[in-house]
Amino acid sequence: MSDSHDLALLINSHIPVIAITTHEENRAVDLVESLKSQLGLPVFKWSITEGLLRLEQGYKPQRINSQPEDVLKHVKASTQPGIYLFLDFHPYLEAPVNVRLIKDIAIDYEKRRQTLVFVSHDLKLPSELLVFAAEFELSLPNKQTLRKIVVEVANKWSRNNPGKRVKTASDTLERLVANLSGLTATEVKRLARKAVFDDGVIDDNDLSTIMQAKYELLNRDGVLHYEFETEKFSNVGGLDRLKHWLGYRKNAFLDPDSPLDLPKGILLLGVQGCGKSLAAKAVAGLWGVPLLRLDFGTLFNKYYGETERNLRESLRTAQVMAPCVLWIDEIEKGVGSSDNDSGTSQRVLGTLLTWMAESSNAVFIVATANDIEILPPELVRKGRLDEIFFVDLPDAETRELIFEIHLRKRGIDATDLGLNGLARHCEGFSGAEIEQAVVAAHYTAHAQQTAVTEDILLKELQQTRPLSVVMKEHIDYLREWAGERTVPAH
């Protein structure tokens, strides 16, 4: 059904107050105005700058009715049926007299058939008006409309550059159209112009730029973070079983026509510093999709209900960015059991579980945790997430590979460094601790104006007390606990 059909149905249902929350004010006004003849009702538009105006040729604004209280009194006193559009009225809904006047008009609806339509980018009706009101949401452009907008932008560029046509491949164009989904027509046109008018070419660079711009449009509250650097799995030592698991599910996640079930997500549990966060980044890099990180630190709000609202908005943004990876770092800090947060953690958990059960979008959750015992069982059971992987301390072969990766990253030739022997000397070290040993050796060699040698690296390793030694009891318990309850990532 079209927006005009749905809105006309709402008005014909004798609902006195309709709220339209949108940034596309002109589109909302045009939609209401287009219903004049169909409904047989005049349409009036009010704004604080122009006053009240009947949307028909020959009428002039009634500036005498520019103040909110005055225009509401005017509508209440009038006996003429009609649709009254109020633009950006949200600041004036805090005044008790305005709320009472709106309520009076709503109560008398059956006598006068006056429909009040409020249009604003941020609209929250007072509780006493909700019984008289309904919300209406403008639909977003479908795939056919998105493609039409992009083609129109491309044609305009060609008209401005006679003899030239926009260059792109058909699959790139389709990916651009897919990346623009979830945005309003105005936003789509703006981003399409950004892709086309730069150089008359739509390529992979434009796709990444569009995704970044799309994220900035959607995430105005700053709770989600767009991770620009996604690691390649070649830069992640070990985790072979996890890599194979993800490789088997890549096509099912990226192909909307796949007969396989859509992968939901994984939980990465493990020893600190062993690569859980790096692996989360690498999932997005392997699958070639955006990586969004949910920060529970900015999610929580001291006001009742705001934390859950922040989470719902973040999850809605992730759905619009799909296909994407949603990385929830240290998830136990947000949904773990707590008696000191007035039930906020439980409400956050409920919101997250509901979304996980109902969402059909290609949003793959990668949750990381250091302490799974405080996580609620309803989150970690099968069906919520696909698998729980344990990221253990690296074995000798993986430690050697980690040395090679971090030495190569810093331009250090590892040919004569005896990595096999170094790997044997650092049993119990995490990947992060090996990296810091390489960093320290690099500093030492630079200070001594010499190359990094095996002796320098060995000395740095000997001066390091790894976490597996400092917190031996805790690490041993975690590894023993995970041994029979999780799947090894390596």
pLDDT, tens digit, 9 for 90 and up, residues 33-91: 999 888 999 999 999 999 999 988 878 878 788 899 999 999 999 988 999 999 999 99
Using pLDDT thresholds of 50, 70 and 90, give the confidence band for residue 108: very high
Share in percent of the chain as helix, strand, coil (round to 5) = 50, 15, 35
| Secondary structure letter of residue 401 according to DSSP | H
CB neighbours of 267 closer than 8 A, spacing ≥ 6?
331, 367, 368, 369, 372, 380, 385, 387, 388, 389
Residue 176, phi-psi category: left (phi > 0), alpha (psi -120 to 50), beta (remainder): alpha
What is the model's pLDDT at position 322? 81
Residue 17 has pLDDT above 70, yes or no: yes
146-170: per-residue pLDDT in tens? 888 888 888 898 888 888 888 888 8
Q: Distance between CA 355 and CA 222 in Å, rounded? A: 20
Using pLDDT thresholds of 50, 70 and 90, give the confidence band for residue 336: low
What is the model's pLDDT at position 137? 87
What is the model's pLDDT at position 44? 94
| Secondary structure letter of residue 382 according to DSSP | B
Using pLDDT thresholds of 50, 70 and 90, give the confidence band for residue 229: low
What is the model's pLDDT at position 129? 94
- The kind and range of the H/E element at 479 are helix 472-483
Residue 264 has pLDDT above 80, yes or no: yes
What is the model's pLDDT at position 182? 74
In the chain, the amino acid numbered 366 is V
Tokens of 165: 């046509």
Residue 304 has pLDDT above 60, yes or no: no
Strand partners, 268: 368, 389
What is the model's pLDDT at position 222? 59
Residues 347, 352, 357, 359, Cα dihedral to 10°: 130
Longest dimension (CA), the chain: 94
For all residues of the chain together, what is the average pLDDT? 84
Q: Distance between CA 106 and CA 119 in Å, rounded? A: 17
Highest mean pLDDT among 168-182, 183-197, 366-380, 476-490: 183-197
Let me know: does 490 contact 239? Beta carbons within 8 Å.
Answer: yes
What is the model's pLDDT at position 480? 82
For the beta carbon of residue 481, count every other beta carbon within 10 angstroms: 14
Residue 297 has pLDDT above 70, yes or no: no
What is the model's pLDDT at position 234? 64
Tokens 């997500």, located at residue: 265
Q: Which domains does the chain have, with CATH numbers?
A: 3-136 (3.40.50.300), 143-218 (1.10.8), 233-391 (3.40.50.300), 396-470 (1.10.8.60)
Q: Distance between CA 264 and CA 253 in Å, rounded? A: 9
Q: What is the mean pLDDT of residues 220-249?
A: 75
For the beta carbon of residue 257, count every other beta carbon within 10 angstroms: 4
What is the model's pLDDT at position 85? 96
Residue 371 has pLDDT above 70, yes or no: yes
For the beta carbon of residue 51, count every other beta carbon within 10 angstroms: 19
| Buried residues in 387-406 as b, exposed as e (16+ CB within 10 A) | bbbbbbbbeeebbbbbbbbb
CA atoms within 13 A on the CB side of 80: 12
Strand partners, 385: 382
Residue 342 has pLDDT above 70, yes or no: no
Q: Of the given ranges (260-274, 292-306, 446-460), which has the lowest mean pLDDT?
A: 292-306
What is the model's pLDDT at position 18? 95
Residue 137, phi-psi category: left (phi > 0), alpha (psi -120 to 50), beta (remainder): beta
Using pLDDT thresholds of 50, 70 and 90, give the confidence band for residue 323: confident
What is the model's pLDDT at position 355? 86
Residue 339 has pLDDT above 70, yes or no: no
Percent of the chain whose pLDDT exceeds 70: 93
Q: Of the given ranges (30-34, 78-82, 394-398), which has the lowest mean pLDDT?
A: 394-398
Q: What is the mean pLDDT of residues 328-339?
A: 72
Residue 490 has pLDDT above 70, yes or no: yes
Instruction: Tell if the pTM clears 0.85, that is, is over it.
Output: no
Residue 413 has pLDDT above 90, yes or no: no
117-144: per-residue pLDDT in tens? 999 988 889 999 999 999 998 887 888 8
